Amino acid sequence: MPREPGQPIAAPPAGARSLHRFANPGRFLRMTGRLMPWLWALALGVTAWGTAWALGFAPADWQQGETVRIMYVHVPMAWLAMGGYFGLGILSIMSLIWRHPLADLAARELSPVGAAVTALCLATGSLWGKPMWGTWWVWDARLTSVLVLFFLWLGHAALVRAFDEADRGARAGAILALVGLVNLPIVKFSVDWWNTLHQPASVTRLDAPGMHVDMLYPLLVCALGFSLLFGAVVLARTRSAVMERRIRALETARARRADMNAQAG
Amino acid sequence: MTRKRRRLWILLLCAIGVGSATALTLTAFQDNIVFFRSPSDIVAERPAPERSFRLGGLVEAGSVEREQAAAGDRPTIRFRVTDGANTIPVTYQGVLPDLFREGQGVVTAGRFGLDGMFRATEVLARHDETYMPPEVADALKRAGHWQPEQGTPPPAATWNTLQPAAGQPTRTGGSGT
């Protein structure tokens, strides 16, 4: 079709079409943009409050002594590792069934944070295990299943980045995440189903928590603080990923237009 | 059927498949997944003397004997591991974890000697799910609600002060707030 030089092409270029797909993420950016400062402030505030309470003021344990303070980091990290993975499962379902582009991006940005949290859980547990159990590591059902959870996080993070086409990477990652979901009940109930060296749950059990309130309350504040921090980090990463995509789409569109003009001229 | 609905059904079917496959596998390997066996398991099915395994339970109250060792040698410790119903005598030469005491959960690895004693090559302490400040533990012991050597503490609802009840040991200082 003959076209005047310099006149913009009628059909939207590929970059603009993928930009159109992020119309909804645009609203996401605007909404979270207003939320982020508050979320950061709240997360840092609650985390500071919780850690100060837990490390400075909470009592020592009658037989673990000061070592019990590792629990204030270990337990929230374990909850986040599992809760975060549940979130990854939901994002993967949204991605596979509704092909929600924002879910793809959020899942991609969530998994490195989840891997970091799980690594912290394993490391703090190991540090606690040496003085208390007498060993850094055993292959019991709880420890092994959490190690598998860590590999699932890492595998997801690696898999979604291993494809040249982002869409195919997201789909492969979503399938991996959903298959890995069977590991979650295994992690949670491993201590009830089998004999393990790891102790059963203290807080989330049907009867009263096996923990004195002087330790329980700082633990819950720590868990809330770390969860808010986790959410803030993941949201910030997702926001920057959305912005990165937008910038790339705009630049591709501009480059294509310049190319077209150059050819036409 | 829309494409979304079809994808939903495929996903559900896959979930059922993966879930039941995992459940079957775990049930099949049940015996290998347990980290240790209790004295009752051992009494029911006694392993051969040359076979090593892990034995777990509570250190029986009043059963710990420390033998004075020759200079330079590590002391030998004898104790009995119990699960309430059955008891197995254990001997161990080496360093015990800090948490080791009578009434504490332990996991020992080793094998049976010809004399019927379990010769442990490794002793790990097993922490239970109770966390309490020293003052609360002391109050429970003083009030006669709990002897740590006898095993597990009383129900947590009586001491965790979520719902302080009259006549129960309540918090005795050391409050964290």
Please report whether residue B24 resides in a domain.
yes
Among residues B126, B148, B166, the one where a domain terminates is B126
B130 and chain A: CB distance < 8 Å anywhere?
yes
Q: How far apart are CA A157 and CA A241, in angstroms?
A: 14
What pLDDT band is residue B135 in, cutting at 50, 70 and 90?
Answer: confident
Residue B98 neighbours by CB distance under 10 Å: 15
Q: Looking at residue A2, what is its pLDDT?
A: 47
Tokens standing for residue A137: 């590591």
pLDDT digits (tens, 9 = 90+) for A115-157: 999 999 999 999 999 999 989 999 989 999 999 999 999 999 9
Domain range spanning residue B95? 36-126
H helices of chain A, in order, are: 14-21, 23-52, 71-98, 101-132, 141-160, 166-180, 183-193, 213-264
B168 and chain A: CB distance < 8 Å anywhere?
no
Q: Are residues B64 and B99 in the same domain?
A: yes
Among residues B107, B126, B145, the one where a domain terminates is B126
What pLDDT band is residue B132 in, cutting at 50, 70 and 90?
Answer: confident
Provide the 8-state DSSP code for B162: S
CA A170 from chain center: how many Å?
15
Q: How far apart are CA A260 and CA A1, in angstroms?
A: 13
Q: Give the orientation angle of helix A101-132 with respect to helix A166-180, to 10 degrees.
A: 40
Q: Are residues B27 and B98 in the same domain?
A: no
When divided into structural domains, chain B yields a total of 2
What pLDDT band is residue B70 in, cutting at 50, 70 and 90?
Answer: low
* Closest B-chain CA to A197: B126
Q: How far apart are CA A50 and CA A263, in angstroms?
A: 63
- Tell me if A208 sits within 8 A of B157, measured CB to CB: yes
A-chain residues near B14 (CB < 8 A): 178
Per the CB < 8 Å rule, is A135 touching B133? no
Q: Looking at residue A15, what is its pLDDT?
A: 45
Mean pLDDT, residues A231-248 taken together: 93
Q: Using the CB atoms, write b or e for A26-36: b if 16+ within 10 Å.
A: eebeeebeeee
Q: Tell whether residue B127 is among the known ligand binding residues.
A: yes
Q: Tell whether residue B145 is among the known ligand binding residues.
A: no
Please report whether residue B10 resides in a domain.
yes
What CATH code is carried by the domain that includes residue B50? 2.40.50.140
Mean pLDDT, residues B32-48 taken together: 87
- Tell me if B78 sits within 8 A of B94, measured CB to CB: no
Per the CB < 8 Å rule, is B97 touching A132? yes
Among residues B85, B100, B126, the one where a domain terminates is B126
User: H or E stretch including B11?
Assistant: helix B3-28
Q: Among A24-28, A218-222, B61-65, whose mean pLDDT is lowest? A: A24-28
Q: Looking at residue A53, what is its pLDDT?
A: 94
A-chain residues near B36 (CB < 8 A): 195, 197
Of B126, B129, B162, the CB nearest to A213: B162
What pLDDT band is residue B163 in, cutting at 50, 70 and 90?
Answer: low
Q: How does DSSP assign A155-169, residue by residue?
A: HHHHHHTS-SSHHHH
* Closest B-chain CA to A64: B99
pLDDT digits (tens, 9 = 90+) for A48-59: 999 999 999 999
Per the CB < 8 Å rule, is A186 touching B26? yes
